Structures are given as structure tokens and as C-alpha cells.
Amino acid sequence: MSFLEQVGKAAIVQVEDAGALAMQFWSVVRKLPRLLPIVGARRRWCSTVQQMLAIGASALPMSGMMSLCTGFILALQGASELRKYGALEFVVALVAIGFTRELGPLITALSVSGRSASAISAEIGTMVVTEEIDALRVMGLDPVEFTLAPKYLAALITIPCLTILSTLCGVFAGYLFLAFSMDMSLATYFHAVAEAILLRDVGFMLVKSLVFATIIVHVGCLEGMRVRGGPEAIGHATTAAVVKSTFLIIFADLAATAVFYLMGWSATT
């Protein structure tokens, strides 16, 4: 196969992936109202709550610890340079802005991607192999509504919450560093943090976390639904889900940051 043919084939695969993701996204979004309590289908919201516990609550310790460590690293590295210019207090702005705009959503998404994208693809892949998805269809139940939509709604609720908590952990790590190195009080630190970040930074963080939640769940579900064969295929699907969702999260982050910068929203006043 020539180089051009290889490039063409790879491009077709990527376009097919994008098309399949878009179609799946639309079919899941259409089913979201059915998951709501009272107005939705009977007891369907229960599965959303189960998924919120699986995707969100159990990921909190890991993403919190990762943010705490990263916040400390950022403060240490920033301080070593800023100290030369007598601007150690700018560590507050570095950590606060860095975490709110970038690291909070990114670290949360990467930790959830590693846990949940693989778990989702393995669960759905197993359901495909054991004919559970076929059984749902034959019973007249929609697999999208029954399996995919609760996961997506759960991720839309929990991942922004996780992002806020993990950003707070990262920012708190900055306080720990400054409390030891400059004897800064908690009140002074958080006052400086409040001055450094703007409401649009928080909005940007939440929008990014929603985009990342969409990527994690839909890539996991799509890879799971594509499983054909036996247990080996499920292994391939979980690997593909983690690799693709991690790449797409970083790519989406780059695109979002570029838009943020080009729109002139990166100014701190």
C-alpha cells in the first residue's frame, strides 16, 4: 500500500469515527429528557444516580490528590523563578489562573478518562458480546436510552463538580506552599485568589469540563458498541477508548484555549 493510500485510509477512518460520534451524540441527547425524575420514564433516574456514583464519587480521591500534587509542583516551580525578581506573591495568580483555566479541568478529565472511559467501553462491550444489547432491542427497549444516556447525564453532572473540587484542591496546594514559605494567612491567600480570577475563567472551566465529559462518555460508549467477537476485542476496545479520549481531551483543550486567547479573554482585567 502506497503512502498516499495509507494517509487516505487513515483519513477515512477518522471521518467515520467523527460521524459515528456525532450520530451517537445526537441520539443520546434526544433521550436525556426521558431520564429526568417525574417527567421522564419510570425509575430511569435511578440508573443515572448509580452512574454518578461510579463516574464521579469514586474518582474524587484520585483527581483530588492529583490536583493537590500538581498545585504544589506548580507553586514550587513558579516560585523558583519568581523569587529571582522578588515577585513571590505572583505565585498566587499563577496557581489560581493556571488551575481555573487549564489544570483543574484537564487533570480531572484525564483522571476520569483513565477510569471511566475504559470502564464504560468494557461494560458496553461485554453487553454486546453477551447479547444483552440485542436482548434490549428485541424487548423493544432502546439501548441508547437504557445504557448510554444515563452515563452521559451522570458525567454532565459529576465531571463539572469534580472539576470544581479538584481546582479547589490545586489552589489549596498553592496556599500550603505560600503558608510555609511566606507565612501567608488563608484569608489573605484566598482574597488574592479572588482578585486573580474572573467569572469568565470559572465559566470557561465549566464549559471545558462539559466538553471533556462528552468526549469521555461518547468515546467509551462508541468503542464498546463496536466490539465484535470475544474478550480479546473488549481489551482492544478499552485501550482504544482511553487512548482516543485522552488525545481528544488534549486536542479539545488546545482548541478551547486558542479560542479563549484569540477572543482576547486571556487578559486578567
Partner 1 sequence: MSYGGRNVLDKVDLDVHQGEILVLLGGSGSGKTTLLKNVLALAKPETGSITIHGVDITGCSQSELGAVRRSIGVAFQAAALFNSLTVEDNVALPLRELTGLADSTIKLVVRLKLLAVGLSDAGSLYPPELSGGMRKRAAVARAMALDPEILIFDEPSAGLDPIVSAGLDELILFLKRSFGMTILVVTHELESAFRIADRVAMLYKGRLIAVDKKEQFAGNGHPRIRQFLDRQPDAMPRVAAEEFIAAYMEAKDDD
Which residues are at the interface with partner 1 (CB under 8 A)? 41-43, 130-132, 134-135, 137-141
- CB of 142 vs partner 1, minimal distance in Å: 10
Nearest CB to partner 1, comparing residues 18 and 141: 141
- CB of 4 vs partner 1, minimal distance in Å: 25
- CB of 126 vs partner 1, minimal distance in Å: 9
- CB of 137 vs partner 1, minimal distance in Å: 6
- Three-class SS state of 170: helix
- CB of 146 vs partner 1, minimal distance in Å: 8
Cα distance between residue 217 and residue 155, in whole Å: 7
Nearest CB to partner 1, comparing residues 7 and 141: 141
Q: How many distinct helices (H) and strands (E) make up the chain? A: 12, 0
Nearest CB to partner 1, comparing residues 51 and 238: 51
Angle at 73 between CA 67 and CA 78, to 5 degrees: 125
Q: What is the CA radius of gyration of the chain?
A: 21
Specify burial of residue 26 (Cβ count, 10 A radius: 0-12, 13-18, 19+). exposed
Residue for grid cell 500500500:
1
H or E stretch at 235: helix 231-262
Nearest CB to partner 1, comparing residues 43 and 84: 43
Nearest CB to partner 1, comparing residues 16 and 131: 131
